[in-house]
Homo-oligomer: A and B are copies of this chain.
């Protein structure tokens, strides 16, 4: 799969041929239909997913309410987030929003690959750096931006989101009531 190597090189950093082939041998490439679940709350076996194609959402349940934690699109890595790092049972459900093609690697395989291949460890570091930048952006915009600005910046970043995710999910991701988002949309016409 030269395709994956290229995507990784373009969006993260380049890997040695050996690393790539080793990674792929120890992973699975799976096709999912829209609406299928990649991961469920409570799972102890964490995976690292690489989205070759399609888009997904990750959510958890808080007080019986579904809370969208993040969206991910083509060329993004995704995991069960926090719990992947802390090794606790996953809090998240991860569900496709479209038909997807996904490369899946078990967490312990990831760790082995990191130990064995310095460049793979580097890839992970680059990936984590990107996650931090995103989180930071979220913290800052929560603090200084109005709900409307945050919505607009989300749509600007992921124009596709309005087509793939229902209004309630977008509101939940932004941490606002869906009625509020609906009013924002109305005011934008």
Contacts from A to B (Cβ < 8 Å)? 62, 67, 81-82, 85-86, 114, 118, 121-122, 124-125, 128-129, 131-133, 135-136, 138-139, 142-144, 175
Contact = CB atoms under 8 A, between A and B. Distances in A.
Contacts of A62: 144
15 contacts: A62-B144, A67-B143, A81-B136, A82-B133, A85-B132, A86-B133, A114-B122, A118-B118, A121-B122, A121-B125, A125-B125, A128-B128, A132-B132, A135-B139, A143-B175
Q: A-B pairs with the 9 shortest C-beta distances? A: A135-B135, A128-B128, A143-B175, A118-B118, A85-B129, A125-B125, A82-B136, A121-B121, A138-B139
A173 to B, nearest CB: 10
A7 B118 CA distance: 24
Contact of A142 (B131, B133, B139): B139
Nearest to A136: B82
Contacts of A139: 135, 138-139, 142
Nearest to A139: B138
A82 B133 CA distance: 6
Contacts of A81: 136
Contacts of A142: 139, 142, 175
Given A121-B121, A121-B122, A139-B139, 10 more contacts: A67-B143, A114-B125, A121-B125, A125-B128, A128-B128, A128-B129, A128-B132, A135-B135, A138-B139, A139-B142
Contact of A135 (B122, B132, B143): B132
